[in-house]
Each structure stands twice: as C-alpha cells, then as structure tokens.
Structure 1
Amino acid sequence: MNTLRIAAQDDRVVVRLHRPEARNAINAEMVAELHTVCDLLERQPKPLLLTGGDGFFAAGADIAELLERRRDHALRGINSTLFERIRRLPMPTIAAVDGYALGGGAELAYACDIRIASTSAVFGNPEPSLGIIPGAGACWRLKELVGEPLAKMVLLAGHRIDSDEALRARLVAEVHGPADLEAAGHRLIDGMTRMSPAALRLTKLVLDSPAGAHPVTDHLAQAILFEDPDKEARMRKFLER
C-alpha cells in the first residue's frame, strides 16, 4: 500500500498512516486503502491499533482534493462512510495519537473505540475556517465524547484540545510520552487478547447498540455465550484456581 504501513499479527493488526510529505492528510487513496483494511478485519476479526508517524497522526483531509469536491461528493459521504465502517468493526479499535489530529484526522480518531495520546497530541476541527463543516462525524461524535460545551468550543470557536485537556475531558484514556505511546497501545491489546474473543466481540456489539435495543440484545448475546465451550473452559479454570 502507498499510504499505509500494515503489520498483521496473529492477534492484532497495526496500521500506520504514512503520507509524511502531506502530514498524513487523508486523501482518496488512503480512504480506499483503509477500506481494504476494514475488509480484512471484517473477514478475520482482530483488534486494530491505528497510529501515525513523524509527529503527526493526521493533519486533516487533503485540502487539494476537497477543493475539487462538489455536492455529489458530499452526498456520497466519502470519509464519513469509512469512519462509520471503522466504528463498526467487530473487534476493538485503538487510535494512538501523537502530534496533530485535525479535521478528518480528528474525526478518524473519534471513530475509534479507545483513544490514547502522546504529550504532544492536539485535537481540533478547523473546517469552518475553510468554508465547510466537520462533515465526517465530529458534529455529533465529539458532543457524545466530551459533552456539548467543549464540543461547541472546538467546532464553533476553533478551540484545540491538547493532551492534558483531552485526558481531563476523557476524550483520551491515557497520555504517554511519544516514545512510549505505541507500546501503551500494545499493552491495551495484550489485555484484550486474554479475553474470550467471542465475548469481547459481542460486548462491543451490545455496547454500541442503541438504547432501545436493550435488554433484548444483552439477553441474546449472553445466550450465545452461555452455549460457547470457551465460556465453560474459562469458568472451570477459574473455579479450579
């Protein structure tokens, strides 16, 4: 792939955004390649660690491409469709954000299940200064993540969230030095790999279900797991301790 560096392991997939000449700006080629990653993870579910490099997570969408886009492009939801697909991946996703995550880069991070950040991380959505809205999820995801007052500061007043504020607002779960960030992401996935894959997958599915779907979704998921031999083996091992 041209815009991504991918390391597929037995129990996880690591994807590094790689357009250093453009500060990892998200272009059409990167969108297509991330769809390919999604296809892989939908067919072979594994946790995903998504990160950047060279001090940037992603400095936004590719402005040269946005300049040429018209109404039909917006109605196709090019970035928002991808980010929603990432949000719905079967297994957990972690965004490890070092440096700038702006515009579409921030929206990509917002779509992941868990965000961790380096001490140099900065989140922001400057799209209105370019004459557009943050149209790939920020207008509703950010409010869900950090609450309406802070979301409006970011989206309407151009406020940028540094790593300290991101941790206080719970936009990110952890903050680490840049050199330790990726290892911290792997530690989180290490914990996930010790869990039942089926239970982890169904927990994410139930957690992301709309409120009106509960408790039926909870009961159905639990019914599936109660018949899983892995559940019996894990509980017997616990009792034998």
Structure 2
Amino acid sequence: MSGPLLIEDRGTHVLATLDRPEKRNAIDQDLIDALHALCAELEQVPRTLVLRGAGSSFAAGADIAQLRERRAADARAGINTHAFTRVAELPMPVIAALDGFALGGGAELAYAADIRVGTPALRMGNPETGLGIIAAAGASWRLRELVGTPLATEMLLTGRVLSGDEAYAAGLITQLHDTGAEAFTAAEAIAARIAKLDPEATRASKRVLRAPASAHPEIDLAEQAILFESPEKMRRMTEFLERKKTS
C-alpha cells in the first residue's frame, strides 16, 4: 500500500511505516485516515502491529500547517485522539520502534503502543504548550500511567523533551539500542516471540492489562475461565508435559 503509511505483511506481524520523511513523518489528515483503515483491518483479522518511521525520525509531531487551521469544532472532534485510541485498543500487541524525533502527536501515537523500544538519539515529549495548545491526543492520561505523575507533570507543563537514555530510565521505552536499524530489528524480534504464543491468551492478556483497577480480579478470572476450556490450552500443556518426560 502506498501513501503516508506503508503496510507490509511480515509473516509474524504487520509492519506499518510512517512514510513522510521529508516532513519527519509529521502526522497529517491523510496519515490519520490511513491509520483508521489499517485499524479496521486489524480489528477484523487481529495481528501484532509494528510501527516505525521512515528516515531518521518516528514522527516529529502533527502537521503544523494543518493544525494551525483547525478550530474548536475540530478539537472537539478528536481527530488524532480517536485514531490513537483505536491503535491502543487493537486486539493484538502494538510495538513502536522509535528513533530521532517522537514529539507532540508522534509521541502520543507512541504512547498508544503496548511496547516501545528506542535509541539514544530518540527525543520524546510534548512541547505543545509552546504552540499555544495542549497535548490532547492521549498524553495527559497515557503518559502519567507510563512514567508516573511527577515526571508526566513536568513534561507536560514545561515541554521537557526526554533523550533516549532518559526515556529508558523512566520506563517509557523498555529497550535501548544503538541505532534505529537495531531498534527496528528488536521490535520485529519481539513480534516474532509473540507469534509463538497462543494468540487468544495474548489477546486476553491485553484486555486484562488495559482494564481499569476496579475490574480486577473479576476480569482476570473470567478470561482465565474461557482459556481453561480452550483446546489450545490443552494442546500446549500436553506438549509441555511430554517434552518434560523426554528431557
């Protein structure tokens, strides 16, 4: 698929590359539309998704030329918010490989991923208040969940941008690799590992992880009850016990 989002079937996962390198992959309406189209496919046929940016950056933010023309009705429509929420709620894991700039809307798209890996060259944060707006596409709640209230507060109120090392220390990314190519390879390795697991158990784990605190432990027990009756659980556990006998 050509356009601002290049889609590839990589066997163990779907790879989506933000492909506006001349704009440092700034997120415009066409890219948002392409994300919605991709999500529609992955909602129907669940697959692990790996996100990356073309060139030397993940996404330097929203397209400011478009953003400048938006008005109150556009804000209330939640153009980026709904797309990123849809990414976050995909049935299977979403992995973001981050390098260079992941700012503003680019950072918020990365926050919507389940797993993030990056490089020392990563620059990640939300400088929106310097442009007269707020980070309204997920940062105000996802960032706090990811790094805690004190750091999220400093980032959002001061526009502080984290380096890759700082993002790793804060847990915002879980792996740090020397180059963008290495980070991407690591992201694909994570996807390959997930592909070896039971997809229904993986999907159930994601639902449980994303449930509010008030839903536990009931949701855990309900999901486990379904899995306890699954043929795949029986097959995998039988294979495990048979391997143990012969080892």
The one-character-per-residue Cα deviations of 1:46-104 (angstroms, maximum 9, x if unpaired) are: 11000002111000001011111011101110001111111100000001001000000
How far apart, CA to CA, are the structure 2 residues paired with 1:211 and 1:124?
A: 27
Paired residues, number: 241
Residue of structure 2 equivalent to 1:107: 108
Q: Which whole-Å CA distance do the structure 1 matches of 2:142 and 2:184 have between them? A: 24
Secondary structure of the 1:57 match is coil
- SS of match in other structure, 2:95: strand
**In structure 2, how many angstroms separate the alpha carbons of the residues matched to 1:183 and 1:154?**
29
Q: Which runs of 4+ in 1 moved over 6 A?
A: none
Give the conservation status (yes or no) of the 8 Å contact 1:119–1:176: yes
Deviations 1:24-54 (A, max 9, x none): 0000000000101101110110110000021
User: Offset of 1:11 from its aligned partner?
Assistant: 2.7
Q: Which amino acid aligns with 1:115?
A: R
How many angstroms apart in 2 are the aligned matches of 1:11 and 1:123? 28
2:13–2:192 CA contact under 8 A, matched in 1? no
1:95 maps to: 96
Cα root mean square deviation, aligned: 0.9
Pick aligned residue for 1:233 from 204, 210, 235: 235
How far apart are the structure 2 equivalents of 1:87 and 1:184? 20
Task: State how 1:37-186 maps to structure 2 within 5 Å.
Answer: 37-178=38-179, 179-186=181-188
Contact 1:53 1:98 in 2 (8 A): no
**What is the Cα deviation at residue 153 of structure 1?**
1.9
Q: Which runs of 5+ in 2 are unaligned?
A: none
TM-score (normalizing by structure 1): 0.98
Deviations 1:143-177 (A, max 9, x none): 11111221122111121100111111000000112
| Matched AA of 2:190 | L
Deviation at 1:9, TM superposition (A): 3.2
The whole-number CA distance in structure 2 between the counterparts of 1:5 and 1:177 is 24
Q: CA deviation at 1:239?
A: 0.6
